[in-house]
Amino acid sequence: MDISSTSYPLKSLPLFSGSALKIIAVLSMMTDHCAYYLMDGNTWAYEVMRCFGRVAFPVFAFLVAEGFAHTRNRMRYFLSLLLFAAISEVPWYLLNGADGTHNVMFTLALGVLALAAFERLREHRVLCCCSILLTAWLAAWLGTDYEWRGVLMIVVFYLLGMVKNTPVTLRRMLQLLFAFPLMMHYGIIGALFACVVIFLYDGTRGFIHGNVAKYGFYAFYPAHLLSFLIICQSLF
């Protein structure tokens, strides 16, 4: 996910680079899956870990919107997400069974597809809106993780991040204000934590850069699902 360098006015606060956001999102996702796949659901530890786990997707959605805005090859960006979504489907299916759902990488790929439709059809407002809504409906119909809310979250982050002649802080506040109703569906506390993390993004790429690191980051998702599959088969 390509993050370009931009200035950020809140220099007195501890800010996060794009790489830091990725690490936070990955830790949140891992915590969530540890609780979901390995723990008893009737404990306080489970609830706390799942709550922290709600930070992951909004941050990933924000990073996808930023990546789409700054990548030099949007088609390759989409195809990369789609490829790793297809790879991830095997361990996802083995972990979750035939429950009619599909992994979150498909949601991210559909979010990029919605953004591409917006950019192609932005001068035709009705057709543009219909294309975005159709993509969100497709996510719901396919049963991708976070469904239509995930796609619309990516769209909101992208559209409000494009507002011109507006201070970065105000743009970020608008992004979070309009995305929060979608985020809170999965837990208000986790959504609030995600808002703080995203608000403190400083606009820089950080230490994760280059194709090896980028595709390694993508590959982590199916790899961690495979790890949980092996652990679950060993324990249960």
Could you read off the pLDDT of 172-226 as tens digits, one per residue? 999 999 999 999 999 999 999 999 999 999 999 888 877 888 889 999 999 999 9
All residues at 6 or more sequence positions from 25 whose CB lies less than 8 Å from its CB, including other chains = 55, 56, 59, 60, 63
Look at residue 27 and tell me if it is in a domain.
Answer: yes
Could you read off the pLDDT of 36-95 as tens digits, one per residue? 999 988 899 999 999 999 999 999 999 999 999 999 999 999 999 999 999 999 999 999
Could you read off the pLDDT of 189-200 as tens digits, one per residue? 999 999 999 999
Look at residue 210 and tell me if it is in a domain.
Answer: yes
User: Structural domain tally of the chain?
Assistant: 1
Look at residue 48 and tell me if it is in a domain.
Answer: yes
How much is the pLDDT for 181? 97
- Domain containing 155 equals 18-235
pTM over 0.75: yes
Look at residue 13 and tell me if it is in a domain.
Answer: no
